[in-house]
Amino acid sequence: MPHTLDKILAPGARILVRDAEWLVRRVDRSSTGGQALTCIGLSELVRDKEAVFLTAIEALKAKVQVLDPSTTSLVPDNSSHYLDSRLYLESLLRQTPPTDVNLYIGHKAAMDMVPFQLDPALQALDKPRQRILIADAVGLGKTLEAGILLSELIRRGRGKRILVVTMKSMLTQFQKELWTRFTIPLTRLDSIGLQRVRSRIPANHNPFYYFDRSIISIDTLKQDNEFRVHLEKAAWDVIVIDEAHNVAERGHGRTQRSRLARLLSKQSDSLIMLSATPHDGRARSFASLMNMLDPTAIANPDDYGPQDIQGLFIRRFKKDIQHQVQGSFKERKISTSHVDATPAEETAFETLMDMNIQNLDKGRGSGHLFRTILEKALFSSPAACMETIDSRLNQLAKASNSSLSADIEALTRLRRDVAAIGPEDFSRFTRLIKLMTDPQSELFWTGQDPSDRLVIFTERIATLNFLTAHLPGRLNLKTKHVAALHGGLSDIDQQKIVEDFGRDESHLRLLIASDVASEGINLHYLCHRLIHFDIPWSLMVFQQRNGRIDRYGQEKTPLIHYLVTTSVTPKIHGDMRILDLLIHKDDEAVKNIGYPSALMGVYDIDEEEARTARALEENLSPEAFETQLLSADQEDTLDLLAFLEQGQQSSSSDSGKDRLGELPTLFADDFDFALKGLSRLFRKSDLNFDIDEDKRILEMEPPQDLIHRFRFLPREIQPRNGRLIFTDSKDLIQDEIKRCRKDELAWPALHFLWPLHPAMQWLNDRVQTFFGRHEAPVLTLPTLNNAEIIFLLTGIIPNRKGQPLIQKWFGISMANVSFKGILSLKEVLQRTELDKRSFANPGDFGVRQEAADYLPQVIHKAREWMKNVRREFEDHINVQLNQQLSRLEELRERHILEIDHHLGSKNISESIRQKRRQERLREVNSLFENYIDWIEDTMSTEDHAYIKVGAVLQGLRD
């Protein structure tokens, strides 16, 4: 008989509410002190409906009834070869969450698994909270690594609600990557997506609750006050912040992005941050990211050591994992064209060097002289220099200051000489055309081959506009063949350009990009040629630009070309040699240390550019600049590489293979389970599905209850032409990913068939209805002794939050009215061969009376055994729990000492000092008490087990 709810439930329980049966899918603690039970309907009237029941509401509490396992009805399975029982048990096994630290699913995604990609998930799962910064170098596949960890969290029931925050240009790319390879559906909340949301839900509803899994840009959150308010009220299981360096604190202030990130970090149990350039060299900046992951870790953001942040991040370079990816990374080929300046350019250079603009440079520090700004602009293009001059002349005209007249005259003279540099006098432009149109040139490129595309990077938008206006005609390209990508475009336009550049059927051949395209986006699908039209003054920009085509998955040798002007003007000639040195140093660093930014030691684009500018202003020779780089005073900077060497092993090993687990199954694979399940659920004429077992393809017209589930998923993955097509072949999926780049829609029509696909979850729920409320199937098997009966049970003990902390499948063997022993699931399967053989079912065996008679004793034995399992677990986990609590108390003391030290150095009155101390103590104590509560709630078990009878396996009658 069912009994009224008086215990904390665990996912997997079946409950009765208002005479309808529900399956508990998720358990959360509610703000009112009870539990929020997220359930899926099993009874006919509520089938496939999702509901949330709050147990703290007394009127409802009396109506939530838990089914008592000792009163389970045992019913014979009359299906052919016991298929109904096998499907039913398989669905229970597939919904059983792993509770250990091994990997069970992420490595099986539609990707070519490489061991190093497993390391972030393994490291995160070793911790009570899965919070990690994945800081691998450009091009190593951080999105895939995040997908592996997300898959594991979803499989454990800790990834129902996911929010991904990334850059505008990467929304579609990230969304598609997680869907096609991991079938994790993210609703894209770009400008169009937000309009769609507003039209679909009531005005006062929170869109972040309407969609369980969403992806949005950090700038949209920053700019949209309404959605930021909604965000503050939403909670998540996992938040992913891509390009996380953009949300780090800079200096001693917090940007709007960093404030949003800090808010987000408090809104979820799990936090995954991704960045190839994770800090700006300052301890405080990197500490801001670490404190988002663990706010108790660092007491003093200006002074901390490797032990404080150990386990919070992982970082590898190409050289660390090269042995695992033989042939996967093509060695880049670097070339440089030194172009003699034209007479018109030489005139402009001379004018610039002869200028006397001291008034404009008053108050400016080294590395920020206006002459240097003009030089940098002219090194990009005459158009960029003209834009800089005109902007300054407009400012000076408004100033009405007679002392600036000489500067205005000098700028006007320079403007005249720069304006005289027409397209034919622009040496790098004419050399670029020659290189691209000369069949003997390595950079010969016609733009006719849709599989051979080209990207040109430039820093300045004026230069980008110049190239967009003049280059296509010289190369005989039509307007549709060229696109310009820059930050001034809307999120929709940026995504479309990136999408088109990687799509075979797109007319786009040439991409002219500003450095907005240098972060994160994949340009390597159809492109292996990259040209730097102007030379970056920052090694980080080199790294980011080149990483767009020189990355994991590039199938051709990356060809990277630099255009450098050579001038007879002595100062310009010397400055260009400095830029030549940067090219050389980038190439050298990539081959040796893997991280060019380590050479300058400032880890910030603006600071690196300022350091280069100072070298130019001080007229340093390349040799002197190189010496300065190698001996730079970096006492105020944080060398992340040194931290990695001390705090963790930075290189990747193959040891992760030892932690790849296999969950038990009664079917050959996912395809076999889906095929048999659908065939049993529907007659072929009812469902209208086709199967090609040789090609491993299953095509079906989804029934209404599955269509209903897709209504809440992104539009891009909806059934196409009313059909769903599945395969479990990774090769076919990867071929489909490539093929879909030729498709106008650019989204694969072929879905990856594996346990995380929404359709597989639907199938799991449907086959559980093969047996009625509070029923368990009985199978008669010739592999068992005649008198033996094995009760196959599952036991779950949740933590205080209702999350499964201990989960066991086991068998209890009974024979001749006596208890014979406890069997592991592996032993049950070995004894019965239920996972290997198909048994004929005559259909006339029935259920032995002894089975029903044994049931109360069996449930009693199961509960006693689970108590022993819990006791052993507690003995083990209490050691870890006490270590965690002890560590937190030590950290709390360090935070308090830091407060006293900080306030003690302030020249303030004692009363103010004490007031501030009390305020800070309240903040620290609240922080640690909340974290301690979380640790205890997560790692402490409830004192009861949820027991379910999965099946009864009986031997043949005597």
Rounded mean pLDDT, 192-219: 79
Rounded mean pLDDT, 730-739: 89
Amino acid (one-letter) located at 613: A
Tokens of 199: 């039209």
Q: Which long-range contacts (CB under 8 A, 24 or more apart) does 648-655 make?
A: 648/306, 648/310, 648/311, 648/313, 648/314, 650/315, 650/316, 650/317, 650/320, 651/316, 651/320, 651/321, 652/115, 652/116, 652/119, 652/316, 652/320, 652/321, 652/324, 653/115, 654/115, 654/324
Kindly indicate the confidence band of residue 742, based on its pLDDT and cuts at 50, 70 and 90. Answer: low
Question: Which SS3 state, helix, strand or coil, does residue 282 take?
Answer: coil
Rounded mean pLDDT, 907-936: 87
Q: Who wins on pLDDT, 760 or 651?
A: 760
Q: Could you tell me if 511 and 523 are in contact, meaning their C-beta atoms sit under 8 angstroms apart? A: yes
Question: Which SS3 state, helix, strand or coil, does residue 749 take?
Answer: coil
Place of tokens 């706010």: 295
- DSSP string across 21-41: EEEEEEEEE-TTSSEEEEEEE
Rounded mean pLDDT, 859-880: 91
Q: Where are the alpha helices (DSSP H) in 425-569?
A: 427-437, 461-474, 491-501, 539-546
334: Cα separation from own chain's centroid = 31
Span of 2-6, 53-57, 205-209, 820-824 with lowest mean pLDDT:
2-6
Longest C-alpha distance within the chain, in Å? 115
Residue 629 C-beta-side C-alpha neighbours within 13 Å: 27
Q: Who wins on pLDDT, 279 or 575?
A: 575
pLDDT in tens, 572-602: 999 999 999 999 988 887 776 666 666 776 7
pLDDT of residue 636: 40
pLDDT of residue 144: 94
Kindly indicate the confidence band of residue 863, based on its pLDDT and cuts at 50, 70 and 90. Answer: very high
Q: Who wins on pLDDT, 645 or 761?
A: 761
pLDDT of residue 644: 43
363: left (phi over 0), alpha (psi -120 to 50) or beta: left
Percentage, residues of the chain above pLDDT 70: 90
DSSP 3-state percent helix, strand, coil across the chain (nearest 5): 45, 20, 35
Q: Could you tell me if 169 and 218 are in contact, meaning their C-beta atoms sit under 8 angstroms apart? A: no
* Most confidently modeled range among 59-68, 129-138, 751-760: 751-760
Would you mind telling me the total number of residues written for the chain in this entry?
958
Q: Could you tell me if 206 and 214 are in contact, meaning their C-beta atoms sit under 8 angstroms apart? A: no
- DSSP string across 622-690: HHHHHHHHHT---TTS--HHHHHHHHS--S--SGGGGGB-----SSSSHHHHHHHHHHHHS-HHHHTEE
**Alpha-carbon distances of 874 from 102, 763, 871, 884, rounded to whole Å:** 20, 36, 5, 14
pLDDT of residue 651: 45
Q: Could you tell me if 389 and 414 are in contact, meaning their C-beta atoms sit under 8 angstroms apart? A: yes
Amino acid (one-letter) located at 918: Q
Kindly indicate the confidence band of residue 323, based on its pLDDT and cuts at 50, 70 and 90. Answer: confident
CB contact set of 898 (below 8 Å; sequence gap of 6+):
299, 300
Give CA–CA dist 589/607, Å, rounded. Answer: 19
Rounded to the nearest integer, the mean pLDDT of the chain is 86
Give CA–CA dist 39/53, Å, rounded. Answer: 8
Amino acid (one-letter) located at 19: D
- DSSP string across 529-560: EEEESS--S-HHHHHHHHTTTSSTT--S--EE
Burial of 451 (0-12, 13-18, 19+ CB in 10 A): exposed
pLDDT in tens, 257-277: 888 888 889 889 999 999 988
Place of tokens 């094995």: 790
pLDDT of residue 685: 56
Tokens of 762: 């639907």
Span of 350-364, 414-428, 800-814, 854-868 with lowest mean pLDDT:
350-364
Report residue 785: phi and psi, to 5°. Answer: -60, 150
Tokens of 58: 């007394």
Q: Could you tell me if 382 and 419 are in contact, meaning their C-beta atoms sit under 8 angstroms apart? A: yes
Q: Who wins on pLDDT, 238 or 401?
A: 238
pLDDT of residue 858: 96
Q: Who wins on pLDDT, 136 or 3?
A: 136
Q: Is the pLDDT of residue 238 over 90?
A: yes
Report residue 881: phi and psi, to 5°. Answer: -60, -45
pLDDT of residue 239: 96
pLDDT in tens, 484-499: 999 888 888 888 898 8
Kindly indicate the confidence band of residue 170, based on its pLDDT and cuts at 50, 70 and 90. Answer: confident
Q: Which parts of 263-349 are beta strand (E)?
A: 268-274, 313-314, 333-340
**Alpha-carbon distances of 451 from 329, 494, 504, 741, rounded to whole Å:** 19, 21, 7, 11
Rounded mean pLDDT, 860-866: 95
Kindly indicate the confidence band of residue 390, based on its pLDDT and cuts at 50, 70 and 90. Answer: very high
Q: Could you tell me if 24 and 13 are in contact, meaning their C-beta atoms sit under 8 angstroms apart? A: yes
- How far the first Cα of the chain sits from its last, in Å, is 32
- DSSP string across 173-215: HHHHHHHHHH----EE-SHHHHHHHHHHS-TTS-HHHH-SEEE
pLDDT in tens, 602-651: 777 888 888 899 999 888 888 888 887 766 544 444 454 455 445 454 44
Q: Is the dihedral of CA 235, 240, 246, 249 positive or negative?
A: positive
Span of 13-22, 108-117, 292-301 with lowest mean pLDDT:
13-22
Q: Could you tell me if 799 and 940 are in contact, meaning their C-beta atoms sit under 8 angstroms apart? A: yes
Rounded mean pLDDT, 49-53: 82
pLDDT in tens, 762-799: 999 899 889 988 899 999 999 998 889 999 999 988 88
pLDDT of residue 664: 92
Give CA–CA dist 577/607, Å, rounded. Answer: 20
Rounded mean pLDDT, 427-442: 94
Other C-beta atoms lying within 10 Å of the C-beta of residue 319: 15
If we measure between CA atoms, which residue out of 88, 13, 82 comes closest to residue 53?
A: 13
Question: Which SS3 state, helix, strand or coil, does residue 157 take?
Answer: coil
Q: Is the pLDDT of residue 750 over 70?
A: yes
Other C-beta atoms lying within 10 Å of the C-beta of residue 198: 14
pLDDT in tens, 438-481: 999 988 999 988 889 999 999 999 999 999 999 999 999 999 99
Kindly indicate the confidence band of residue 753, based on its pLDDT and cuts at 50, 70 and 90. Answer: very high
940: left (phi over 0), alpha (psi -120 to 50) or beta: beta
Give CA–CA dist 523/455, Å, rounded. Answer: 8
Rounded mean pLDDT, 33-43: 78
Kindly indicate the confidence band of residue 729, based on its pLDDT and cuts at 50, 70 and 90. Answer: very high
Kindly indicate the confidence band of residue 860, based on its pLDDT and cuts at 50, 70 and 90. Answer: very high
Tokens of 413: 């003279």
pLDDT of residue 197: 73
Q: What is the 3-state secondary structure (H, E, C) of 656-672?
A: HHHHECCCCCCCCCHHH
Q: Is the pLDDT of residue 653 over 60?
A: no
Edge-to-edge order in the sheet of strand 804-815: 73-76, 775-780, 946-954, 788-798, 804-815, 818-824
Report residue 149: phi and psi, to 5°. Answer: -65, -40
Residues paired with 564 in a beta bridge:
338
